[in-house]
Amino acid sequence: MKFCVVALAICACAAAAYHSVAACAAASASAWLNSHPNAVVAHRGCWRGTAENSLQALRNCEALGIQAFEGDVRATKDGVLVWIHDPTLDRTTNLSGSIADLTYAQIKEARLKSGPGGSQSSLTDQKLPRLEEILEASRHLIAVLDIKDGSYEATYRLVHAAKAEKRVIIIAYAGPQQIAQFSFYGKIAFIPVVIQCQPAQVAQSCYSEATIRSAAVFRSYAALNPVAYFVGASADTLAALAPVASKSGIRLADAVDDDAVGASQDVRTIWRSELREGVSVFFSSRPLELEHAIGEAR
């Protein structure tokens, strides 16, 4: 199953320069997204040369002029929100075990592994960040928070305490009725995750192939004004959706698995192909290279 993002144009950030982080610092996340015909989001931060989902990865983004990043939020056993993709510590740190089964005191000294992690990666000097630290370090960036374990209310409280509502986008794994009940609704931009039903479906809610292909699924969320949709569907379904979305004025985007591609030229071929197919919002592990490729394709 492949994941794509569908972005809705809401408002403009006309004053923001394409490579100026400070210019968009005070703008809303939805305005930033709409102001970029081809928007690039750094997947788990700009982690090359450091660790994914690390504070240094955010500093790298700001230094490179990358304006938006994505990262994952999970809660420890005692309710501390930390920034980590996997449900366990094993791949990305020097410790092991489930985040949900350990207290923050048990994991706070974990050191992050370089790059994408794994047994062959060296250790960095980076520690596992708390969400508060991420919000403080990203004051001049757009933060896309992927809530992995349903910690929506706790996430909202921390975002509100940091006065970061306008510079955060929440990825929500929930239907429209549930989203309307969340405290963040109406205060923080959000992206619902729309999943195509499969024979061995494990999602709490899913949609038929026909509902996604026709773009009817988006009408059920329209009144909530999401800034985007994450769509998990087969490649055929996404291909059929593309022209329908184009006619409806909906922007399509893709969470590009560009880190798994070897040669840079192969990566550019993938990016250019997706640009031709109408993709305009990219979650990328090679954000700077992608911005250059987009510039070349103009």
Provide the pLDDT for residue 293: 82
What are residue 252's phi and psi, to 5 degrees? -100, 145
DSSP 50-98: SBTTSHHHHHHHHHHT--EEEEEEEE-TTS-EEE-SSSBSTTTBSS-SB
- The CATH number given to whatever domain includes residue 109 is 3.20.20.190
State which residues form the domain around 46.
Answer: 2-297
Provide the pLDDT for residue 6: 55
Place of tokens 């309307």: 180
Please count the structural domains in the chain. 1
Provide the pLDDT for residue 38: 86
Provide the pLDDT for residue 116: 85
Provide the pLDDT for residue 129: 97
- E strand or H helix at 272: helix 264-276
Over the chain (298 residues), the average pLDDT of each successive run of 10 is 53 39 55 88 95 97 96 97 97 98 97 93 97 97 95 98 96 93 95 83 75 87 87 82 79 72 69 74 89 77
